[in-house]
Structure 1
Amino acid sequence: MAAMAGYPADVPEAVDVAVLDGLRSMRLRKRPINAPKEDEVQLQINCVGICGSDMAYWSKGMAGGFVPLDFSEEGLNQGYCGQMGHECSGTVKAVGGKVSHLQVGDRVAMEPGVPCSDCKLCRNGRYNLCPRMRFIGSAVNRVPGALCRKFNHKASYCYKLPPNVSLQEGAMLEPLCVSLQGVTRAKVGCGHHVFVSGAGPIGLMTAMCAKAAGAATVTITDMVESKLEKAKEIGADFTLKADTPNLHEALEAFIGEKFDMSFECCGVPAALNSCIEVTVPGGTVCVVANMPKQVPLDLQVACRHEVDIIGVYRYCNLYPRALAMVASGKINLKPLISKTFQLEDVQNAFEHFASGEPIKVLIQPNPPEQMV
C-alpha cells in the first residue's frame, strides 16, 4: 500500500476508517496505523457515539464556527480530514514501553483531548483551554478521530472500566463530562431549582448531573415530545414544550419562583434569552451548547439582575469522577441509548440521528462479541 501524507512508508497495517468525504456522505476507507508510541496504547475501538458537532460536520462541513473540512482528494488523503469520532471506548490490544497502568485486554474509555501539559493554562489545572490541545476528530487540530477499527491514544488519557460499566457507557462518558463541567461550574447544590433548555443528550445528562448534585427540581423544555418523555424517564420533575405560549410564566409556575441556575443546551439564541429571563436575580446561566457567533442578547436583564453568564468548553479533570458516578449507579446512561450500528452502516447511523428523534446513537466498529 502506498504511503499517505503524514505517515511513514513502512506501515504495518491498514485499517477501516469511516470518513466524511462530502456533505452528508460517509464511506469506509483504508488508512494506515503504526505501532503505539512508548506512552500510548493501541485500542480496538468498540463504541463511538455521534454527537452534535459530528452532525454539524456531516450536514454543514464545519462545527462550532471552526475551520471547514477540506473534501478535496488531497484533503481526504491527509489522514485526518473527515475522520470523526471522539466519544469513544475500546479494548487495549497493545501497549507502549512506558505504559504501566494498562495491559492488553483492559476495557477503557478514551478522553479525546490531549493537552500540551506545559502552558500556563495546563499548569493552572484548566487544560481544556490549552491552546495546543490535540482533540481527536477535530478539523482544527487536524487530528483523526476514532471512528475506525483500531486507534492509538495516549495512555494517560485512557481510563480502565470496572466490570459493571459497559463499553457503551464508557463511550458516553465524554458527553457526560461536558454536562458535569457545566453543573460543576454553575455550582449546583442541594435544594437548587434548575432549568435546562434542550432535551438532547447533553441536556438530559445535565439534568442527571444536577439531580446527582442535589438539585431539588429539574425542569426541561424541548420541541420534541418523545425527548420530553425521555426526560421524565430519567428523573426530570417538570417538562414543557419550548413553543408553549407565555413560556416564562409557565416555567415559573412549576416551582412558584424563578430558577437558581439555568442551562442552555440546545444552541438556540432565543432559548438563551429565556434562560436569562427565568433565572433568579443573582443566579447563574450556563451556556453549554454551541452558539452562533452573533447572538442577540438581552444583557440589560442579565446586568440589572446580576445574573452571571458562564460558558463551558469541554471539561477538565472530570473523567474519573464521571466514571465513578456511573459505576456507583448515581448516573444511569443506558436509557439514553437509542440505537447501535456497525461501522459498515455508518451512513445509516448518521441519517438516523439526523431525524431528530434519537437521543444517543452508537456505532460499533468492533462489537464486543466480534473481538479479535
Structure 2
Amino acid sequence: MAGYNDMPDEVVDVAVLEDLRTIRLRKRPLGAPKADEVQLQMNCVGICGSDMAYWSKGMAGGFVPLDFSEEGLGQGYCGQMGHECSGTVRAKGAQVTNLEVGDRVALEPGVPCSDCKLCRLGRYNLCPKMRFIGSAVNRVPGALCRKFNHKASYCYKLPPNVSLQEGAMLEPLCVSLQGVTRAKVGPGHHVFVSGAGPIGLMTAMCAKAAGAATVTVTDMVDAKLEKAKEIGADFTLRADTPNLAQALERLIGEQFDMSFECCGVPAALNSCIQVTIPGGVVCVVANLPQSIPLDLQTAVRHEVDIIGVYRYCNLYPRALALVASGKINLQPLISKSFPLEEAQKAFEHFASGEPIKVLIQANAPEDCAV
C-alpha cells in the first residue's frame, strides 16, 4: 500500500481552460497527499452550468470575469475546473482512518475552515474561507485531471450498488436536496420547478422523494420535458405557453405550495412568485443576474417567502442514501461520457443545449456503470 511519506511527486495530465471555449490537455506536478488527505485516481467528472458559463463567457454567478491575459494568468488562475466528481483511493495520508486504498468515493468539493461562526452554526456552505475545488474565482485547482489530492473527511465511500457515475452526480443532487430541504417540501405538497436542466430534474426527484403529491416542470426544450416525464414529473409544460401562470394552475386545479427557480431566467422567477400560494415558498436555486426586475409586491402582499440556495451542507450522506436505496435514480440523466483527452468536445456537446448531464472520464471507466 502506498503510504504518506514514500510517494514522490509526479506529473499528471490536466484539462486546462486557457481561453474562452478553449480547453487543452497539459501536464502539471502533483505531490503526495497531506496527512489528512487521500490521493485519488479520478474516474468521473461532471460538467455543470457554472463550468459551462466559465468556458463560454468567462464568468458565472455574478463573480468577476476571468482574465485570460498574460497578466491575469500570472495572478494565479490555474484554469483547472471540475467539482462534480468521483474517484478511487490510490494512496492516503498518515492520519487517514476512514478510507482504504481501493475504496471508491464521491468528493464533496467544498472544504470549509471549520472555525468561523457560520461553520460552528452548521452552515459551512456559507464559510467565507471555503476552499471549493475547481473554483476559477478562488483559484483552487479542480478535479478534471488524472489524479487529485483531497481531504479525506470530505470523501464518501460508495457502496457496491452505487456507480462512480452516480457518485460524481451526488454534488448537483445535493444542490437540489438543499433547496427541497430549505423549502420544507413534504407529503401532499404541490411543487413547481422552472427549468428541466440537471438541477431542475434533480429538484423534481428530491421533491418526489420527500413525498410531494405532484411535481410540475417547465422548460423551453421538448426533449428535456420528455426527460422530466421519464424521471417522474406529474405534469410538464413549455415555458413559452401563453398565460403561463394560469395554464400552470389549471394543471393541478390550484396554486403551488413551493416553487423552485432552476433555469436562471429573471422572468421565470416572477412566474414562480405568481403561481405560488399565499404563504408559500419560492426557492431560488439557479444563478441569476445581479440585478433583475422582480414582482416583489405580489410576494410581500401574499407573504410568499423567497429563499436562496448556495451549494449545500451536511447533505452528502443523505443524498448517497437516497441513491443507494433506489429512491432516486440518476442514471437516466446521463447523456454522454467523454475521455479526458476529449474534454473540449465534451463542453462543445454540452453547449448544444439538449444534453442533461455530460461526464468526463479522467481514467479508464473501471466500474463507472454498475
- Whether the TM-score (by the shorter chain) exceeds 0.5 is yes
Give identity over the alignment, percent.
Answer: 85
Count of aligned pairs between the two proteins:
362
Residue of 174, 177, 200 corresponding to 1:177: 174
Equivalence for 1:83: 80
Matches of 1:47 and 1:347, distance apart in 2: 15
SS in 2 for 1:229: helix
Unaligned runs of 5+ in 2: 1-6
SS in 1 for 2:366: helix
Equivalence for 2:361: 364
Matches of 2:94 and 2:151, distance apart in 1: 12
SS in 2 for 1:261: strand
Quick check: 1:69–1:81 contact (8 Å CA) kept in 2? no
Matches of 2:102 and 2:71, distance apart in 1: 37
SS in 2 for 1:20: strand
Quick check: 2:166–2:331 contact (8 Å CA) kept in 1? yes
Residue of 163, 185, 189 corresponding to 1:188: 185
Residue 233 (str. 1) matches residue 230 (str. 2): yes
Cα RMSD (Å) of the superposition? 1.5
TM-score by length of 1: 0.95
Quick check: 1:23–1:58 contact (8 Å CA) kept in 2? yes
Following superposition, the deviation at residue 311 of structure 1 comes to 0.1
Matches of 1:79 and 1:13, distance apart in 2: 21
Residue of 296, 300, 305 corresponding to 1:308: 305
Q: Give the 3 Å change call, closer, same or farther, for CA 322–370 of structure 1 in structure 2.
A: closer
Q: Give the 3 Å change call, closer, same or farther, for CA 283–104 of structure 1 in structure 2.
A: same
Quick check: 2:164–2:367 contact (8 Å CA) kept in 1? no
Following superposition, the deviation at residue 15 of structure 1 comes to 0.5
- TM alignment of 1:10-25, pairs within 5 A: 12-25=9-22
Matches of 1:97 and 1:79, distance apart in 2: 30
Matches of 1:15 and 1:347, distance apart in 2: 18
Residue of 328, 352, 362 corresponding to 1:331: 328
Residue 51 (str. 1) matches residue 48 (str. 2): yes
- TM alignment of 1:54-69, pairs within 5 A: 54-69=51-66
Q: Give CA deviations for 1:60-110 in whole Å, capped at 9, x if unaligned.
A: 111111122232346547765211000000000100000001011000000
Following superposition, the deviation at residue 139 of structure 1 comes to 1.9
Residue of 242, 247, 266 corresponding to 1:245: 242
Return the letter of the residue paired with 1:335: P
SS in 1 for 2:122: coil
Residue 28 (str. 1) matches residue 25 (str. 2): yes
Moved over 4 A (4+): 73-80
Quick check: 1:69–1:82 contact (8 Å CA) kept in 2? no
Following superposition, the deviation at residue 184 of structure 1 comes to 0.1
SS in 2 for 1:28: strand
Matches of 2:186 and 2:232, distance apart in 1: 16
